[in-house]
């Protein structure tokens, strides 16, 4: 009986260690996620699975122009380690739900940049952006200009006419950029 209990305890410890390691890797190194919605068409499709590097989030560094990022759209509230834990794929699987606050977007501008949208086109620091990834021309809207504050990025979806992005939610703090697509 003693040998049996030792064997069970060894299995329990191994499984617990594997779960902890899986959660830590998913929180700090990389994780799979799913695209929800059509805001990144034609680059990414609704329900497509992608993998993201979490290193930018872990070390709080600025993503580069054109990077496809996962963001927490709740930019008006601070993020905590609890948010990172609850967004882990294993925890989401247990809770059986996707988080509708996680958006997949493209970085258009970084700290200090000026973004202007006029005549359905995007200008970065006065220069028209070449955006071959955009699905279709933007619907006309009144011209708008933003200056990205320090520690933030400006993101847009590739399907501009069907995307909730920085035009609506505002600038995204670095700690709300949860990962960069591989």
Q: Pairing mode, if any, of strands 127-128 and 121-124?
A: antiparallel
Residue stretches of the chain with pLDDT short of 70:
96-97
Q: How far apart are CA 98 and CA 89, in angstroms?
A: 9
Q: pLDDT at position 67, please? A: 97
Distances from the Cα of 159 to the Cα of 25, 68, 163, angstroms: 31, 13, 6
pLDDT attached to residue 31: 86
Whole-structure pTM value = 0.86
Q: What is 2-181's CATH number?
A: 2.10.109.10
Predicted local distance difference test score (pLDDT) of residue 116:
97
| pLDDT at position 96 | 67
Nearest to 19 by CA among 76, 121, 90: 90
Output the pLDDT for position 8.
93
Residues noted as catalytic: 39, 105
Kindly give, in sequence order, each residue whose CB lies less than 8 Å from that of residue 67, ignoring residues fewer than 6 positions away.
106, 107, 180, 181
100 φ/ψ angles, rounded to the nearest 5 degrees: -70, -5
pLDDT at 32: 87
């Amino acid at each position: 009986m003693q040998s049996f209990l030792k064997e069970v305890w060894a299995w329990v410890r191994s499984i617990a260690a594997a779960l902890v390691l899986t959660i830590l890797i998913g929180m700090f190194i990389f994780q799979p996620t799913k695209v929800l919605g059509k805001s990144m068409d034609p680059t990414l499709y609704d329900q497509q699975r992608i993998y993201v590097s979490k290193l930018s989030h872990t070390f709080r560094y600025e993503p580069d122009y054109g990077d496809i990022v996962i963001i927490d759209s709740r930019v008006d509230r601070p993020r905590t380690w609890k948010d990172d834990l609850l967004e882990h794929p294993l925890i989401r699987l247990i809770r059986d739900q996707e988080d509708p606050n996680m958006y997949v977007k493209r970085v258009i501008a970084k700290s200090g940049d000026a973004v202007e949208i006029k005549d359905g086109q995007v200008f970065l620091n006065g220069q028209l952006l070449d955006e071959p990834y955009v699905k279709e021309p933007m619907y006309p809207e009144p011209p708008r200009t933003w200056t990205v504050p320090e520690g933030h990025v400006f993101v847009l979806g590739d399907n501009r006419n069907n995307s909730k992005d920085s035009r609506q939610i505002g600038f995204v703090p670095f700690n709300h950029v949860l990962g960069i697509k591989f």
